[in-house]
């Protein structure tokens, strides 16, 4: 990565504004159900504490739409972070203003201040220059360690870098370096696995990948549109009717470039998406008009697994079915196990994919599990991420 990091700058005694991604999932009671994103930021935070920086942490949380709402407060995040760090974390009442400035002025070397949700201000998502300037006024250096928000040109992810020296944190560096190397100089065979509901969400990704991969495995609802393009009946399954011709075009493009496209050969179908709905596994020719494809079948898992086992580089983004419902989770879990067993470089990204991986407890067996959802997808597509572009280049 040709960007400066916190290793390249002096930090002792300096006020360091660190943009983190603490947008963690919570239950109905507001309790954090997965602290992975908080833990992912710890190496950067601990390095800065150990080297005597005055830390000012900022994050978004949920979608408060520019309004102060208690359920979107970072209070529970502050408590969790304090336990993980073993040092006091003070929560500010806001992210700008005189009270916040006073708390910043009181910071001693190695102390941590967590600003309140930046999205309590509508100016954050608008990338308002004055709001970005007010955030910047709190610090002397800006560090972006929020890869999960790097695809957003918001005030705290991009705008603030116009007013302060801007460098990457360790998580940002890791995310960019690992995925960049896989895309730019992969060990082959290079296999990508793309899933999820809609082909329209991943047209750019598929087009970009077919130029560089050896095989592309497709699952999830988006596979239905490809199956329809091949002339298969899909019953009441989710199909983007206006994208059927495009799916056929993408299949032809891949064939012309010598890229193997793998689609399901058997599927799990049901008439409704519930835990108790009767389901069955059928060949593609056996789908009834009133049934929906909700998962890939065991034969498809076996075919996919054979290609995965032979791969030297794998990027996976998107589940193979409606994995949130247990009886339609086998396909995604089978792929997860196959990727975990692959001895090559394995990169997993996308919120749903990461959740599925955690369900089977295999996270530690992958080379890298990305903290970015949309950011990961856009990066794989080859797009420039505003939060990365705003950082200072190395000399």
Q: Residue 316 in contact with residue 190, Cβ under 8 Å? A: no
Q: Is the pLDDT of residue 212 over 90?
A: yes
- Neighbouring CB atoms inside 10 A of 29's CB total 6
Task: List the beta strands (DSSP E) in the chain.
Answer: 15-19, 54-58, 89-91, 112-114, 141-144, 166-168, 190-194, 215-218, 260-262, 266-270, 279-283, 292-296, 313-317, 345-349, 368-369
The pLDDT of residue 20? 98
The pLDDT of residue 352? 85
Answer yes or no: same fold for 6-171 and 178-381: yes
**Which residue, 125, 69, 131, is CA-closest to 100?**
131
DSSP for residue 335: H
The pLDDT of residue 189? 97
The pLDDT of residue 11? 98
Mean pLDDT value across residues 314-332: 95
Q: Give the up-direction half-sphere exposure of residue 86: CA atoms within 13 A in the CB hemisphere.
A: 3
**Looking at the domain covering 6-171, what would its CATH class be?**
alpha beta
Averaged pLDDT score across all residues of the chain: 95
The full set of domain ranges for the chain reads 6-171, 178-381
183-209 pLDDT per residue, tens: 999 999 999 999 988 888 888 899 999
Q: What token pair was written down for 306?
A: 């054979």
Q: Is the pLDDT of residue 165 over 90?
A: yes
Q: Is the pLDDT of residue 283 over 90?
A: yes
Name the most confidently modeled range: 46-50, 207-211, 346-350: 46-50
Q: Give the residue with greater pLDDT, 228 vs 382.
A: 228
Listed in sequence order, the residues at least 6 apart from 106 whose beta carbon sits closer than 8 Å to its beta carbon are: none
* CA 222 remoteness from chain centre: 19
Listed in sequence order, the residues at least 6 apart from 27 whose beta carbon sits closer than 8 Å to its beta carbon are: 33
Which residues have a catalytic role annotated? 37, 198, 351, 374
Listed in sequence order, the residues at least 6 apart from 250 whose beta carbon sits closer than 8 Å to its beta carbon are: 203, 206, 207, 210, 226
Please tell me the CATH superfamily of domain 178-381, with its number. Phosphoglycerate kinase, N-terminal domain (3.40.50.1260)
Residue 189, preceding peptide bond in cis (omega within 30° of 0): yes
Mean pLDDT value across residues 349-370: 88
What's this model's pTM, rounded to 2 decimal places? Answer: 0.91
The pLDDT of residue 356? 87
């Amino acid at each position: 990565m040709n960007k400066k990091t916190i290793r390249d700058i002096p930090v002792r005694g300096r006020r360091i504004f660190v943009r983190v991604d603490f947008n963690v999932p919570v239950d109905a009671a507001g309790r954090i159900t997965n602290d992975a994103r908080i833990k992912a930021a710890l190496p950067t935070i601990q390095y800065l504490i150990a080297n005597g920086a005055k830390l000012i942490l900022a994050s978004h949380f949920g979608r408060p739409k520019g309004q102060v709402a208690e359920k979107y407060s970072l209070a529970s995040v502050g408590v969790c972070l304090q336990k993980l760090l073993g040092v006091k974390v003070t929560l500010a009442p806001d992210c700008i203003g005189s009270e916040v400035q006073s708390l910043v002025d009181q910071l001693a070397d190695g102390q941590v201040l967590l600003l309140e949700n930046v999205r309590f201000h509508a100016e954050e998502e608008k990338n308002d220059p004055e709001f970005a300037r007010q955030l910047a006024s709190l610090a002397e250096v800006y560090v972006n360690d929020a890869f999960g928000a790097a695809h957003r040109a918001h005030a705290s992810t991009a705008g603030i870098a116009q007013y302060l020296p801007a460098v990457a944190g360790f998580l940002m560096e890791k995310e960019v370096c690992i995925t960049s190397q896989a895309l730019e100089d992969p060990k082959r065979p290079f296999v990508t696995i793309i899933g999820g509901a809609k082909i329209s969400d991943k047209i750019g990704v598929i087009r970009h990948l077919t130029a560089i991969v050896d095989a592309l495995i497709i699952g999830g609802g988006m596979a239905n549109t490809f199956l329809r393009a091949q002339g298969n009946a899909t019953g009441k399954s989710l199909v983007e009717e206006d994208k059927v011709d495009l799916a056929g075009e993408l299949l032809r493009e891949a064939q012309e470039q010598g890229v193997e496209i793998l689609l399901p050969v058997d599927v799990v179908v049901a008439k409704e998406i519930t835990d108790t709905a009767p389901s069955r596994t059928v060949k593609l020719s056996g789908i009834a008009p009133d049934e929906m494809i909700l998962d890939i079948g065991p034969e498809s898992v076996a075919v996919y697994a054979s290609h995965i086992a032979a791969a030297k580089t794998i990027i996976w983004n998107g589940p193979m079915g409606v994995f949130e419902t247990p009886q339609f989770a086998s396909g995604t879990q089978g792929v997860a196990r196959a990727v975990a067993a692959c001895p090559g470089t394995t990169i997993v990204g996308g919120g749903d994919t990461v959740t599925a991986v955690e369900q089977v407890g295999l996270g530690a067996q992958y080379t890298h599990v990305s903290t970015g959802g949309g950011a990961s997808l856009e990066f794989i597509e080859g797009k420039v991420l505003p939060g990365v572009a705003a950082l200072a280049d190395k000399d």
